[in-house]
A and B are shown apart, each in its own frame.
Chain A
């Protein structure tokens, strides 16, 4: 990745981090309801993959931990925040909420709350691309625990059988809520599980943007060239609890500290500083800038936007 690109991505990653931290605060203030699944710790996964792909052109679908993926596809952070606030100006007009961000004009095909639910939908988007003859690919981001759903196996089989242009990204943060992967899953290396379906796969460090990017480039090229699906497993960690009411009793503070020493944002930052493309001062300014933007534009927009009209309750159920 070129230094100037890396610098841009660093900024995007910091925005993603601060956006999520601000959501946390808004949740505590009861401005955001429902479940709220935050992304800090995993940023290099989404950004590394999407830098290798074509945001806004390739289709992206994911689970409920979806704010950052939407923003990286091109969503306006203001609309995402407004959605969390349940406002009419939100991405899904306040009907979806945190777990159901959609932005179809940027080909962000949605966040879905049923674990494993997006697998076959991603394959279907791949099928649509195949029928229409475009050069897009269908990218599905899901967690490690989703691989224990039947949809994982059913979808991989069909994706391989029909040679669909699908890239499956497994963000392996090693937990499904409070259950560690070795307590739920017989095969710990997820990329090995797809061999049974004759699908190309790889595993790599999910904390290091450069590593993710290099692996993702290979994967994206493979899928785009029409060779069929690819499965990429990224080893990562979420810093916060699964959702908001999570005491993290299932893991140790030492383990958390260990992962925080390999923070995806600091890895990029330090590499840019080493390459003399960034100073610590600049970085601090960047953070401040972003915080100001989030406060003065993103949160302000969400706060000041109107709620949906109750008279429109039944709008959007059916088309005709």
Chain B
């Protein structure tokens, strides 16, 4: 196993798949000659040329639709949307074309296209560059949504997404591209469905995905060391479909649940997980499940306000302590 950065995992997945299959292409703004805003497509233009590594005009809906159309006849496009905030402009094609075409054609057409995009609050990028939007994507029938929390997942989920016959949206995070982690040396395909136990525990389940997995891990460590509370951390790398069985299994063991999300609460991942807990294992609960989430405000620019708007590991710790009557 080699250590590699999150962006390197993504780049490697592109490279391997493009080397294998001439119909795998990638496209997006500044991904070719410039190498990608987050380096995720570095070196590919030189290697595969402009027909397969396509610098697009700033036409999110247009080039997303172009990718979808190409996927109808066997091309496997990987589309980078520079920031998830710009994905609003592409949702018409993503939702109305990619997600629905299989159903409305009675299974004749499918759109095996991958969209990947960073969301989330980075360093004072302001209201129009800091939003998280996974909640919007995960409610769309016909679309898969995955969100890697480490380089191994970043690599393996993209590999599987490219091979999938379904449209897949990969939710990345601006702050995670330089994160380091172990990635298998051999080819690796991460399952597109399910969840992962990132740390085993017995007293409470902390559900996280993408960056909030790391808050949960940090919180679990503090809870163990300082409060003698054993927290289990479940990594929900698949947001659509959510892993009902995995959620049920962990909550049935710990009887308590905290869901940590960087997004605002309404109609979000936390709301959905709690609904699943209610449906699957309500009578296993020893306490009402709790969400740790962002304030319902457009992301502020001022650094203090920005930090106040989004949660972190301390908020997770506090939520658990409150649940145990220790705060």
Contact = CB atoms under 8 A, between A and B. Distances in A.
Interface stretch (B62-70, B215-223, B302-310): B62-70
A73 to B, nearest CB: 13
Interface residues of B, number: 46
Q: Which of B54, B103, B104 has the most CB of A within 10 A?
A: B104
A4 B104 CA distance: 38
Contacts of A151: 61-62, 65
B70 A124 contact: yes
Contacts of B56: 158
Contacts of A128: 69-75
A315 B97 contact: no
B166 A131 contact: no
A138 B73 CA distance: 11
B2 interface: no
Given A125-B69, A130-B51, A319-B102, A117 B59 contact: no
A102 B63 contact: no
Contacts of B141: 317
Range, interface on chain A: 35 or more
A117 B144 CA distance: 21
Contacts of B59: 150, 154, 157-158
Contacts of B144: 318
Given A158-B57, A318-B166, A124 B104 contact: no
A317 B110 contact: no
Contacts of A126: 69
Contacts of B96: 112, 114, 117
Contacts of B54: 162
B254 to A, nearest CB: 31
B25 interface: yes
Contacts of B97: 112, 114, 117, 121
Contacts of A100: 104-105
B73 A59 contact: yes
B75 A131 contact: yes
B166 A320 contact: yes
A316 B107 contact: yes
Nearest to A308: B106
B71 A124 contact: yes
16 contacts: A103-B108, A104-B108, A121-B68, A128-B69, A128-B73, A130-B51, A132-B74, A150-B62, A155-B65, A157-B62, A316-B106, A317-B102, A318-B142, A319-B102, A319-B110, A319-B164
Interface of A: 59, 61, 90-97, 100, 102-105, 109-110, 112, 114, 117, 119-132, 138, 150-151, 154-155, 157-158, 161-162, 315-320
